[in-house]
Amino acid sequence: MPASLVVWILSALLIVGVLTQSWWEPRLEARGIPYRRWPWRWWLVGYPATALRIRSTWRRLAYLNGLSVSTSPDRRVIGRDLVVQGQALRPKPPRLSWPVPTNTGLTLRVLLHPGQTPAPYFAAVRAMEHAWRVHGVRVTSPRRGEVFIQVTALDPLTGEVPSARGPAHALLSADVGRIEDGEPWLIDLRRVPHWLVTGATQSGKSSLLAALVLALAPQPVALVGIDCKGGMELGLFGGRLSALAIDRKEAVGLLSRVVDEIRHRMSVCRAAGQRSIWDLPEDERPVPLVVIVDELAELYLTDGSRESKDEAEQCGTLLLRVAQLGAALGVHLVVAGQRVGSDIGPRVTALRAQLGGRVAHRAHDEASAEMTLGDINPDAVITAQNIAEDEQGVAVVAQGGRWTRARSRLVTTADAAQIGRTDPPANPFLTSPDPVTFEKGGMAA
């Protein structure tokens, strides 16, 4: 049989399957056949149907949303100083490339007409989603005169995020979940040294911190925690933590030692003539240190007493010094809280400005999302507000002016117990003659 005939037969079968999709899908579902889980469903049925829908609706979509232009507009001169310009009867839509499939959707490129800007395409995102019947559309303009459209057919963040597999990632790089294009969600502390995690109760903050600890546990990285809720969250990781503070008084002591460690590492780099610990020989390099703070507000809220106010002031000062000085010295900060604004205490705004990585889970109010993502991108704030209550773990991740949706994986109690049985690095604190150990939920030297 000639190859061309085989291609025509397969194409005909594909077209028939696409056209009859509304007929056979309900019948397979009624019989309990898990057709939606078949890996070839998107490539065999979903992609061709979506691509044909995009091509067939592009002209009308461009016309209704002001994306089309006329190369010869109708102009009439009335009198001496009056020009009347009419609407073109045959508008010309922008040139659209053929949709290129991906694992979760497809991508398109649009060549802009002379004089056009990407702004109308940004405004037409919702119209594209409804016209093409897809989960989401992202519009960017990577180069002049061109618009890049990324289409997500189905939300890859639904369901349980699978465990991380594959080769181990680089030092201080943690695979904590999955982003909206189906790729792993990597938190690279070498690239973005400090992170801010916000969200309402039961939104997924603790799950993200647990996934971060799970990914960093096998690495030669020291982990210290501050959990002023009695250690109920971070205390699950037991012996893997080099130190854990369970109240504000212990937090002041722990942060003071971290600041002393930063100063000592400064002197080490200065004596070696280097600007960073990463420029030191590997056998002389200090152990990277990650400070994880769960529920930041507990460090700042006071009961009105002088002692309580002094402790809160010390915590704010020490956290700010860690964020300002720790990046080049291998000391990293991950802070989580429901709200991170000036209303919870002094120096919080200055601390937030030092945290380049932002993760915003579901929030109860617009102000909370604005505090986290407002200085990154206003569209990210709107996306964070649209996270539903049943989407636990889903968040908007922003860094370096770019943002995306992501979901952290769930860490079970068994995984937490396994982490707790892992031994920490021998001595993360160079300023201490003895290693800091974990003992009964508190900090002991």
Q: Over 70: is that where the pLDDT of 415 sits?
A: yes
**DSSP state string for 104-155:** SEEEEEEEPPTT--SHHHHHTHHHHHHHHT-SEEEEE--STTEEEEEEESS-
pLDDT at site 216: 92
More confident residue, 426 or 234: 234
136 Cβ contact list (under 8 Å, min separation 6):
129, 151, 152, 155, 180
pLDDT at site 273: 92
pLDDT at site 270: 92
- Output the pTM of the full model: 0.75
Give per-residue pLDDT as tens, 160-191. 565 665 555 688 999 999 888 778 899 999 99
Going by the DSSP 8-state scheme, the letter that residue 90 receives in this structure is S
Give per-residue pLDDT as tens, 244-300. 999 888 999 999 999 999 999 999 999 999 999 999 998 888 999 999 999 888 888
User: Across residues 309-334, what is the average pLDDT?
Assistant: 92
pLDDT at site 192: 93
Identify the H or E element spanning 95: strand 95-96
pLDDT at site 368: 82
SS3 183: coil
Domains and CATH numbers, the chain: 38-67+89-154 (3.30.980.40), 173-444 (3.40.50.300)
Burial class for 372, CB neighbours closer than 10 Å (0-12, 13-18, 19+):
buried
More confident residue, 142 or 34: 142
**DSSP state string for 199-227:** --TTSSHHHHHHHHHHHHTTSS-EEEEEE
Give per-residue pLDDT as tens, 184-207. 899 999 999 999 999 988 888 888
